[in-house]
Amino acid sequence: MRPFSRGWEDLLEDARLVSAVDRIEAERDARSLAAEGWLEIISVRYKSHFIGRVVIPLAAETRWRESFGFVPPSDEEIRLIREFNWEPDLAFLRDTRINVPLVELRQLNDFLKAGTEGRDIVPIKERSLQIFGDEKRLDAILAGALFRSERLDIRTHLRCEIVGEPLPWKRGPASASQQPVIVIENAATWQSYCRWNDERRLFSAVVYGCGNRFIDGVRYFKDIFDELGGPRKLLYFGDLDPQGLLIPQIGSARAQKLGWTAIEPHAWSYRHLLILGSGKGQPWDGEPGPSPLCEWLGELAEPARRIISAGQRLPQEHLGWEFLQQQRI
């Protein structure tokens, strides 16, 4: 027997983790698992800070199986999978080892056999409940071999999609109805900006981005714009660290695909964050971001780059209520 080993880039591709935010989170999770003995990490040669491969040690395999309740398919089950009359979209199962029970594969086959033409796209959890009787099952197997390139696609074959969480937001005063919309990354700062906006009337709405959830929640700007009476300029203010800068830039790309304007930094907020946070940087324990990351900040790019290059970060909470209530812009 040999330990299970996979190239890091192959794993990211199979799991469809293509955004920089997702990759940073995946690396952090992998290193946490390695620290607890679940994995071993093999670094890229001469670049020890890059992951080359991940390995599940033989001693940890039982621990993994018990945690996920995985029971390897028996020889009889493998034979039945190879001999079963699968729908064309599942024909690859005859020649592919899939760690999904035969009963679930047949449930998928029954769904495809019933036909998907004309079906509406629905949330993934609704389709999962319909197929497996378990609303979370599709999420659990989505990163596996079933959904690798040129096999199953959840939108094309199963007519479903991953649905991000809605974006909480607070409408601004009526006199600010034509002003931009601002997105705030963290809850505490969102609450302070809502209070500030009630007095200063700067934004037509203050949206809670909720960190990484903002990326999948961008689609809900449609609902916010409908309530406001039409699209508005989109601004963002978050933590000054690699992840805090990646989130709005990925969100901006998605917003533009949906036909809205690019998401811009709220320059006033970032400028004052740099001033108030001067000399108060906190250590950044994540991976360094791509080199052009700070360019999104425009004229503030260089001072931001100096902070990030030093391995530090500035939390947006430096701009708290006691500071904001004294400001008039």
For residues 107 and 105, what is the distance between their CA atoms, to the nearest angstrom? Answer: 5
Lowest mean pLDDT among 47-51, 88-92, 273-277: 47-51
Strand order in the sheet with 40-44: 4-7, 47-56, 40-44
The CA-based angle 29-35-36, given to 5 degrees, is: 95
Helices (H), the chain: 8-14, 20-35, 58-68, 75-83, 102-113, 124-132, 137-141, 187-200, 213-217, 221-228, 242-257, 267-276, 301-309, 321-324
Determine the 3-state secondary structure of 50 from DSSP: strand
CA-based end-to-end distance of the chain: 67
What tens digit of pLDDT does each residue of 19-58 get?
555 677 777 778 877 877 888 888 866 556 678 888 888 7
Domain range summary for the chain, segments of one domain joined by +: 4-66, 71-161, 169-324
Residues 6+ apart with CB under 8 A from 27: 51, 287
- Taken as a whole, the chain contains a residue count of 329
| pLDDT score for 7 | 81
Beta bridge partners of 282: 313
What is the DSSP code string of 88-102? GGGGGGGGS---S-H
Question: Of 272, 200, 209, which is closest to residue 235 (Cα–Cα)?
Answer: 209
pLDDT at 182 over 90: yes
Has this prediction a pTM greater than 0.85? Answer: no
Q: Using an 8 Å Cβ cutoff, are 241 and 308 in contact? A: yes
Confidence of residue 269 (pLDDT cuts 50, 70, 90): very high
Say how far residue 7 (Cα) sits from the centre of its chain.
21
Say how far residue 229 (Cα) sits from the centre of its chain.
29
Confidence of residue 289 (pLDDT cuts 50, 70, 90): low
pLDDT at 107 over 90: yes
Residues 6+ apart with CB under 8 A from 8: 30, 51, 52, 53, 54
What tens digit of pLDDT does each residue of 210-263 get?
888 898 889 899 999 999 999 999 999 999 999 899 999 999 999 999 999 999
* pLDDT mean across residues, the chain: 87
Average pLDDT over residues 312-321: 94
Give the chain's count of helices (H) and strands (E): 14, 12
Higher pLDDT, 320 or 243: 320
Q: CA-CA distances (angstroms) from residue 217 to 16, 133, 327?
A: 18, 26, 30
